[in-house]
Chain A
Amino acid sequence: MDRIIQQIPRFFSPGHLALLAESVGMTLALTVIGCVSGFLIAFLVVFLRQTPGLWALPLRLIGIAYVEIFRRIPFLVVTYLVLFFIQAFTSDASLFTIAVVAICIYATAYTAEIIRGGFESVARQQVEAATAMNFSRWQTLIGVIIPQSWPVILPPALAFAVGFIKDTALVSQVGVFELTFRGKELNNEGFSGILVFGTISLIYFAISFPLSRLGSRLERRLASSRSQKSRKRLRPA
Chain B
Amino acid sequence: MNYTFQFGVALAQLPELLKGAILTFELGLLTFWGGALIGLLGASLKTFGGTFLRGIANAYVIFFTNTPALIQIYFLYFGLPEFGIRWDNFTCVLIGLTLNAGAYLTEIMRAGFISVHRTEMEAAETIGMSLLQQIRFVIVPHIVKTIYPALANFFVVILVMGTSIGAVVGIDELTGTAINISTENYRWIEMFVVVAGIYVVLTFIASLSLALLGRWAFRVKAKVF
| Partner-B contacts on A (CB < 8 A) | 1, 3-4, 68-69, 72-78, 80-81, 84-85, 88-89, 166-167, 169-170, 172-173, 180, 183-184, 187, 192-194, 196-198, 200-201, 204-205, 208-209, 212
B168 contacts A204, C-beta separation under 8 Å: no
The yes or no answer to B1 lying at the interface (CB within 8 A) is: yes
Chain B residues whose C-beta falls within 8 Å of the C-beta of A173 in the assembled complex = 168
Given A187-B74, A196-B78, output 9 extra A-B contacts at Cβ < 8 Å: A68-B200, A89-B3, A193-B80, A197-B71, A200-B71, A201-B71, A204-B67, A204-B71, A205-B66
A193: contacting residue among B65, B81, B178, CB under 8 A: B81
Whether the pair B74, A183 counts as a contact (CB closer than 8 A) is: yes
Contacts A84-B188, A169-B70; is A198 near B165 (CB within 8 Å)? Answer: no
- Assuming the A-B contacts A76-B165, A192-B79, A197-B79, are A170 and B70 also in contact, with contact meaning beta carbons closer than 8 angstroms in the complex? yes
Contact check, B175 vs A193: say whether CB atoms are below 8 A apart. Answer: no
The complex places the Cα of A73 from the Cα of B178 at a distance, in Å, of 14
A208 in contact with B1 (CB, 8 Å):
no
Tell me if B82 and A192 are in contact (CB < 8 A): yes
B189, CB-defined interface residue at 8 Å:
yes
Nearest Cβ on chain A to B29's Cβ, whole angstroms: 17
| Neighbouring A residues of B83 by C-beta, 8 Å | 1, 194
B side interface size, CB within 8 A: 42
Smallest CB separation, A22 vs chain B (Å): 18
Are B67's CB and A208's CB within 8 A? Answer: yes
Q: Do the beta carbons of A76 and B79 come within 8 Å of each other?
A: no
**Distance, CA A199 to CA B210, complexed state (A):** 39
Give B205-224 as 1s and 0s: 1 = Cβ < 8 Å from A's Cβ atoms. Answer: 00000000000000000000
**Chain A interface mostly helix, strand, loop or mixed?**
helix
Give the distance to chain A from B49, nearest Cβ to Cβ, in Å: 22
**Residue in A closest to B100 when the chains form the complex, CB atoms:** A166
Q: Smallest CB-CB separation from A209: which chain B residue?
A: B66
Q: Produce 1/0 per residue, B38-71, CB < 8 A to A.
A: 0000000000000000000000001101111111
Q: Are A73 and B160 within 8 A (Cβ)?
A: yes
| Chain A residue nearest to B70 in the complex (CB) | A169
